[in-house]
């Protein structure tokens, strides 16, 4: 019986610890070369020195991991741009990777590239079934482990982690959005293709089949934004809300704009100091919390918002039919949006 070279290669990668626990595609010379050529950059170019171990992420090494993840060559510009965004100091990649918190980088795509690469922005948004979503997100995670050194259980000591550490990549459903999409809100043109990186927990479902107006619907969502165990009520940062097309339509039918949604949630997704003293991140020592200056730490009834500013509640529209939405609590750092140059 002849040995199966493909199986042998896969087993070799397992033995070296170069997988995420799932089989990888053997990175042959031809496959890696095709990735490098599509990037339009030199193989030796260093895109980033990735924390926590300062691994030099050359185009060739990135291409190798992209092949292993199952990517097509046309995905390379997205991966390269995402890595550049992750290195922005505002994201604090080292902190995200080394925290005991479960957050991990989520990629959100906007613009024409969503259709070009067939990135899922509708039904089963965070689930399986779409090669672009699955492999682009997986490539970034493999790169962070294999090049950056964020090895699970060794350097990455997240208490739990979550399935997004295998792959975490979605797109906004711009066709179903009654307002401007995320990248336009951030100053890009509608026909620009962008990737946004955000350190996110797993999706938290918001089930609301009863509300027929913006105020009632957002009151329910506000409750989900202000859980006492979330990082947000202690350190601020950003929180992402993904409205389903049906929920977005309900809110828009009430005449509300995106900024109205953010203002309402900022005012209503609050908890009193007396409850925040129970535990949370710092316990009764509320002076360590990064609250807005106007919050009176000594007043047990003072209400604390989930973010420092209304616009830090980032609202986008995605998903398919159904009266559900998703809250994506974060780690406390900032998201970053970059334009993808193909």
State pLDDT tens for residues 192-213: 999 999 999 999 999 999 999 9
**DSSP letter assigned to residue 18:** -
Is residue 320 a contact partner of residue 313, using CB atoms and an 8 Å limit?
no
Alpha-carbon distance 37 to 43, whole Å?
9
Statement: residue 309 has pLDDT above 90: yes
pLDDT at 85: 98
Which token pair is 271?
A: 């908890």
Q: Is the pLDDT of residue 136 over 60?
A: yes
Residues 6 or more apart whose CB falls under 8 angstroms from that of 15 comprise none
pLDDT at position 281, please?
A: 84
258 — phi, psi (to 5°)? -60, -40
- For the chain, the domains span 5-270+305-339
What distance in Å separates the CA atoms of residue 204 and residue 221, rounded to the nearest whole number?
11
Confidence of residue 4 (pLDDT cuts 50, 70, 90): low
Tokens 């090895």 sit at which residue?
Answer: 151
Phi, psi of 6 (to 5 degrees): -65, -45
* pLDDT band per the 50, 70, 90 thresholds, residue 2: very low
User: Cα(209)–Cα(232) distance, rounded to whole angstroms?
Assistant: 27
For residue 313, list its beta bridge partners.
239
User: Tell me: the pLDDT tens digits for 77-129?
Assistant: 999 999 999 999 999 999 999 999 999 999 999 999 999 999 999 999 999 99
pTM: 0.96
Q: How far is CA 19 from the centre of its chain?
A: 21
Position 175 pLDDT exceeds 80: yes
Summarize pLDDT for 221-251 with one digit per residue, the tens.
999 999 999 999 999 999 999 999 999 999 9
Q: First and final CA of the chain: distance in angstroms? A: 46
Positive or negative, the CA dihedral 236, 242, 246, 252 is: positive
Distance of CA 189 to the CA centre of its chain: 21
- Alpha carbon 18 to its chain's center: 23
Q: In a 3-state reduction of DSSP, which class is residue 282?
A: coil
Instruction: Report helix, strand or coil for 314.
Output: strand
Per-residue pLDDT for 314 more than 60?
Answer: yes
* Confidence bin at 284 (pLDDT 50/70/90): confident
The rounded distance, in Å, linking the Cα atoms of 105 and 136 is 12
CA–CA separation, 166 and 164 (whole Å): 5
Instruction: Encode pLDDT of 249-283 as tens digits.
Output: 999 999 999 999 999 999 999 999 999 999 888 88
Measure the CA–CA gap between 308 and 325, rounded to whole angstroms: 23
Distance (Å) of CA 294 to CA 206, 287, 298, 303: 30, 13, 12, 10
Q: How far is CA 43 from the centre of its chain?
A: 28
- Average pLDDT over all residues of the chain: 96
């Amino acid at each position: 019986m002849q040995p199966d070279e493909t199986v042998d290669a896969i087993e070799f990668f397992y033995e070296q610890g170069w997988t995420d626990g799932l089989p990888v595609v053997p990175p042959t010379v031809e496959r890696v070369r095709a990735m490098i050529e599509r990037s339009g950059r030199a193989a030796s170019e260093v895109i980033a020195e990735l924390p926590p171990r300062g691994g030099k992420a050359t185009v060739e090494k990135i291409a190798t991991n992209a092949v292993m993840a199952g990517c097509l060559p046309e995905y390379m510009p997205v991966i390269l741009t995402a890595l550049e965004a992750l290195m922005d100091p505002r994201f604090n990649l080292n902190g995200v990777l080394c925290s005991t918190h479960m957050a991990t980088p989520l990629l959100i795509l906007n613009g024409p590239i969503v259709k070009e690469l067939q990135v899922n922005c509708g039904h089963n948004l965070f689930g399986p079934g779409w090669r672009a979503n699955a492999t682009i997100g997986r490539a970034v995670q493999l790169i962070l482990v294999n090049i950056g050194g964020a090895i699970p259980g060794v350097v990455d000591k997240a208490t739990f982690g979550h399935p997004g550490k295998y792959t975490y990549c979605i797109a906004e459903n711009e066709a179903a959005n009654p307002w401007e999409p995320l990248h336009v809100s951030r100053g890009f043109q509608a026909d620009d293709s962008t990737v946004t990186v955000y350190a996110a927990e797993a999706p938290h479902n918001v089930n609301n089949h009863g509300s027929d107006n913006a105020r009632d619907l957002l009151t329910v969502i506000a409750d989900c934004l202000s859980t006492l165990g979330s990082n947000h009520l202690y350190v601020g940062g950003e929180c992402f809300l993904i409205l389903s097309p049906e929920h977005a339509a309900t809110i828009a039918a009430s005449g509300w704009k995106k900024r109205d949604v953010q203002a309402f949630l900022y005012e209503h997704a609050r908890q009193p100091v007396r409850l925040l003293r129970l535990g949370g991140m710092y316990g009764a020592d509320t002076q360590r919390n990064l609250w807005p200056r106007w919050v009176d730490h000594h007043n047990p009834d003072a209400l604390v918002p989930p973010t420092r500013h209304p616009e830090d509640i980032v609202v986008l529209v995605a998903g398919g039919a159904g009266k559900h939405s998703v809250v994506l609590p974060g780690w406390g750092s900032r998201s970053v949006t970059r334009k993808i140059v193909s």
